[in-house]
Amino acid sequence: MSKASKHIRELLPDFSPEVAIILGSGLGGFAELVENATKISYRDLKGFPQAGVAGHAGQLICGTIGKTKIIVAQGRAHFYEHGDATVMDPVIKCFKQLGCHTLIVTNAAGGLNTDYNPGSVMIINDHINFSATSPLIGKEGNERFVGMADAYDPTIRERLMTIAEYENLDAYEGVYMWFTGPHFETPAEIRMAKMLGAEAVGMSTVPEVILARFYGMKVAGLSNITNLGAGLSDESLSHEHTMAMAGKGAKKIATILKAYLTEGAL
């Protein structure tokens, strides 16, 4: 067991989380829904990356939502901060060691499906790794050859879509394509991404999903569509724009996840 996992066990000996959630840019407010919350700064967890992007707090929140015991990572480290796809490995490994069977990842993303406006939610059903790297590079043994079919658990996806439809939220399923960033894509890259079958583009998530599959966890992913991809509208893109536009979709993601966890995670 890693030092970070041991530290959490010692602090909260009776806490056995089932689901881990990573909150993306602009989604930090979800943490307020956690009941009986204990907060632990990444600074106190050996091996954890420091979250360096505005809007990412850099702490874990342990507690419950309804029937589900959860551990929430408020803030993630990105490949573009370090040039290292393994930067979230200690975090995902810690979730696994504490007993989580499922990882739910959230992110802010650019939408490519012009039938859906910014403020909508994409439930990720697959991804394209366009960054030509893997967080498993350097791992040993046959376990590193992880199958990635149905990486986004079909049963959880169906439940999340049912909740979104019931709540009348703008949600659709689609493929998330990972670009390293930190620059935004060019309009030509967005046209390419569309041609390749992506419906959202973003700068995170894929390394964590690969790691979670490596550790044998089920995965779900939700994208908060804060803008249309470059060239699909007149907006000029920036991190400030992402943060300013994040509220609407973040509320919808919080509604979906709250309902999912309250009923009891699958």
Annotated active-site residue 238? The verdict is: no
The residue of the chain with the least Cβ separation from ligand HPA equals: 110
In the complex, minimum distance from the CB of residue 84 to ligand HPA, in angstroms, rounded to a whole number: 19
Q: 3-class SS at 129? A: strand
In the complex, minimum distance from the CB of residue 124 to ligand HPA, in angstroms, rounded to a whole number: 14
With CB under 6 A as the rule, give the number of residues binding ligand HPA.
Answer: 13
Q: Does 102 bind ligand HPA (CB under 6 A)?
A: no
Annotated active-site residue 239? The verdict is: yes
Q: Does 221 bind ligand HPA (CB under 6 A)?
A: no
Q: Does 51 bind ligand HPA (CB under 6 A)?
A: no
Annotated active-site residue 25? The verdict is: yes
Instruction: Please answer whether residues 30 and 251 qualify as being in contact, where contact means their C-beta atoms are separated by less than 8 angstroms.
Output: no
CA–CA separation, 100 and 215 (whole Å): 10
Q: Does 203 bind ligand HPA (CB under 6 A)?
A: yes
- Neighbouring CB atoms inside 10 A of 142's CB total 6
Nearer to ligand HPA, 125 or 223 (CB): 223
Residue 266 CA from chain centroid, whole number: 18
Q: Is 181 left (phi over 0), alpha (psi -120 to 50) or beta?
A: left
Annotated active-site residue 81? The verdict is: yes
Among residues 5, 107, 224, 227, the one annotated as catalytic is 227
Stretch that binds ligand HPA, among 71-79, 88-96, 205-213, 223-231 (CB under 6 A): 223-231
In the block, tokens 């999912």 appear at 260
Q: Does 108 bind ligand HPA (CB under 6 A)?
A: yes
Q: Strands 59-65 and 200-202: what pairing?
A: unpaired
- For residue 21, the one-letter residue type is I
Instruction: Please answer whether residues 256 and 167 qualify as being in contact, where contact means their C-beta atoms are separated by less than 8 angstroms.
Output: yes
In the complex, minimum distance from the CB of residue 160 to ligand HPA, in angstroms, rounded to a whole number: 20
- Sort 256 into a burial class: Cβ within 10 Å, 0-12 / 13-18 / 19+: buried
Q: Does 202 bind ligand HPA (CB under 6 A)?
A: yes
Residue 15 CA from chain centroid, whole number: 22
Q: Does 249 bind ligand HPA (CB under 6 A)?
A: no
Active centre residues (catalytic): 25, 56, 78, 80-81, 108, 203-204, 227, 239
- Chain residues that interact with ligand HPA, rule: CB under 6 A: 108-110, 184-185, 201-203, 226-227, 229, 237, 242
